[in-house]
Each structure stands twice: as structure tokens, then as C-alpha cells.
């Protein structure tokens, strides 16, 4: 089954008992906005998980702006949301799937395979006339036990090795906007540029002009050169600013069948926290 599901697919299964729908809406810099949007109206039965309170750990000297949560904390939050070992999880947001993909990645990293992302956001669901309500879901807690998949991510030492090895190491993919990648503009982090040897694939390019995820054929065309490298056995390591907007690129490549694709969770904000790490600018 695809890792992306259409809104009519979810509508047909809206009230199935083995399913948890998760609203992941969030706005950087305004962390209260996502919860407020959920409280105002959401897909019936959905629970809310917050990027910073639920899907990230506390910020420290290293690890980036949205560090991975400790596994015990993640287990507790997922259990409290009603997610157990047999639960089918469908995540959505209204930001192109960036935050929903973060939950998808965390669940896959924790060993849970039944997790999917809605291929269009909440606005498309609402515009289609599909049901929306503001009711607070009564959640029956489950017991989620993580089985961490170490092959899902790369740490800073692995990224250093890949960067130094260039074409002979893992392929690094920067998911940020081109202006940030080349170092022309950096609105968030303290230093501009990219990790040496990385190529650029802005994450929003997985979406079509309507803001929905592109078809498999379109995604294959978009990632053609990266797919070629992956098919030749080269590992792919994807990063962004803080390990969130890289997740749609990771999801897209896994969706196409490429499992040798990893996330660098700390991403650029972790990379620049080490003064000795080199920085490249330009293309």
C-alpha cells in the first residue's frame, strides 16, 4: 500500500476502530496556532500532536532546533494518543505535509509501519465538503513500544564522512529553499550555506500546483538523478534546517521504494553547532 492516501480513501474509513487520525498542523514561530486551528475544527476523531511539545525533544547545545524526542517520551506521547502496535495511523496538516511527514518518519523510526500521510491538507478536505467538527476525541490510551530502526537516520559523524568522501560516500540532499542552500539568505539559522558535497532538492517540489503530493511518475522524474544513485547502491542522507522539512523528501523516496534513504535529524542547525564543520556556499 502507498504511504500517501487520498482524502476519499480516508473518508471511506473515517470511523474504523483500528485507526488513529493525527492532526499535525503547526506554524513555526507561532506554536499556539496549530492547536488553535485544531480546536476550531478538525477531521472527526482526530487527535492533535504538536511538533515541538510532542514530536521533538528539548533543544540543547547540539542536535538542532527540533531534536528527536527521547524514545521513552515518544512512547508515552504515542500511547496517550491511542496508538498501539496494531493501530493504523493517518497524519495530516495544512502545510504541504511537512509536519505530518515528521510524524510518519518518527513512527517508522520507532518500528511502526502502518502510518500514512494524507496527500492533501486539511483545507482541501474542508473545501471538498467532507465532515469537520470541533469535538475533543475521547482517547483510550494504548501501549506503544518503540523498536528503533537505526538504519533510518544518520548522525553528524556519518554526515561528516559522507561530505568528505564526496561522490564516494553517501549522497547528501539539502531540502531547503535554493536561496538558503547557496547561502544567499538565511532567515532562521546563525550561519548560511550548505554541507559540502550536498545537492539541493527543495521539499515543496514534491507538491503539485494545488498543494497536493505529486503522482509517483512525477516524483520519479523529480528525483531521477537521486534515484539513479540509490539504485546503484549509494546511500542517501536527507537534511533541512532542523530535521522537519526533510521528512517529505525522505517519505517520497521511501514511497517510491528506496529504503536506503536516511534522515539527518539535527540537519543544518546541528551541523553549524560544531565550529569545526565546513560550510559551502554557491551551487
pLDDT per residue as tens, the chain (283 positions): 589 999 999 999 999 999 999 999 999 999 999 999 999 999 999 999 999 999 999 999 999 999 999 999 999 999 999 999 999 999 999 999 999 999 999 999 999 999 999 999 999 999 999 999 999 888 999 999 999 999 999 999 999 999 999 999 999 999 999 999 999 999 999 999 999 999 999 999 999 999 999 999 999 999 999 999 999 999 999 999 999 999 999 999 999 999 999 999 999 999 999 999 999 999 8
Q: What is the pLDDT of residue 136?
A: 87
Q: What is the pLDDT of residue 1?
A: 57
Q: Does residue 244 lie within any of the structural domains?
A: yes
- Domain of 175? 153-271
Q: Does residue 144 lie within any of the structural domains?
A: no
Q: What is the pLDDT of residue 75?
A: 98
Say whether pTM exceeds 0.85: yes
Residue 240 catalytic? yes
> Nearest CA to 109 among 271, 264, 252, 233?
264
Task: Round to whole Å and give the CA distance between 269 and 98.
Answer: 17
Q: Decide if 171 contacts 106 (C-beta within 8 A).
A: no
Q: Does residue 138 lie within any of the structural domains?
A: no
Say if residue 16 is in the same domain as residue 120. yes
Q: Does residue 277 lie within any of the structural domains?
A: no
Q: Per DSSP, which regions of 17-175 are E strands?
A: 19-23, 47-48, 88-92, 115-118, 171-174
List 37, 89, 219, 240, catalytic entry: 240
Say if residue 192 is in the same domain as residue 251. yes
Whichever domain contains 97, its CATH number is 3.40.250.10
Amino acid at each position: 500500500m502507498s504511504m500517501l492516501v487520498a482524502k476519499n480513501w480516508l473518508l471511506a474509513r473515517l470511523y474504523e476502530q483500528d485507526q488513529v487520525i493525527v492532526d499535525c498542523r503547526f506554524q513555526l514561530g507561532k506554536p499556539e496556532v496549530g492547536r488553535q486551528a485544531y480546536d476550531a475544527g478538525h477531521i472527526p476523531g482526530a487527535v492533535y500532536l504538536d511538533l515541538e511539545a510532542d514530536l521533538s525533544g528539548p533543544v540543547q547545545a547540539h542536535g538542532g532546533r527540533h531534536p528527536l524526542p527521547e524514545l521513552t517520551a515518544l512512547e508515552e506521547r504515542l500511547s496517550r494518543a491511542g496508538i498501539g502496535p496494531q493501530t493504523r495511523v493517518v497524519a495530516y496538516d495544512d502545510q504541504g505535509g511537512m509536519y505530518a511527514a515528521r510524524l510518519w518518519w518518527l513512527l517508522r523510526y520507532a518500528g511502526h509501519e502502518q502510518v500514512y500521510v494524507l496527500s492533501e491538507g486539511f483545507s482541501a478536505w474542508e473545501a471538498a465538503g467532507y465532515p469537520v467538527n470541533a469535538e475533543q476525541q475521547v482517547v483510550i490510551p494504548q501501549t506503544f513500544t518503540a523498536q528503533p530502526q537505526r538504519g533510518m537516520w544518520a548522525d553528524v559523524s556519518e554526515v561528516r564522512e559522507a561530505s568528505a568522501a564526496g561522490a564516494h560516500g553517501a549522497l547528501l540532499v539539502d531540502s531547503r529553499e535554493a536561496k538558503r542552500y547557496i547561502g544567499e539568505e538565511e532567515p532562521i539559522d546563525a550561519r548560511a550555506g550548505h554541507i559540502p558535497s550536498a545537492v539541493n532538492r527543495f521539499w515543496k517540489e514534491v507538491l503539485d500546483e494545488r498543494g497536493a503530493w505529486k503522482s509517483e511518475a512525477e516524483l520519479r522524474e523529480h528525483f531521477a538523478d537521486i534515484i539513479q544513485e540509490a539504485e546503484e547502491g549509494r546511500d542517501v542522507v536527507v537534511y533541512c534546517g532542523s530535521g522537519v522539512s526533510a521528512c517529505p523528501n525522505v517519505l517520497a523516496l521511501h514511497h517510491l521504494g528506496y529504503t536506503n534513504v536516511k534522515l539527518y535529524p539535527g540537519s543544518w542547525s546541528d551541523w553549524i553547532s560544531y565550529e569545526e564543520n565546513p560550510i559551502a556556499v554557491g551551487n
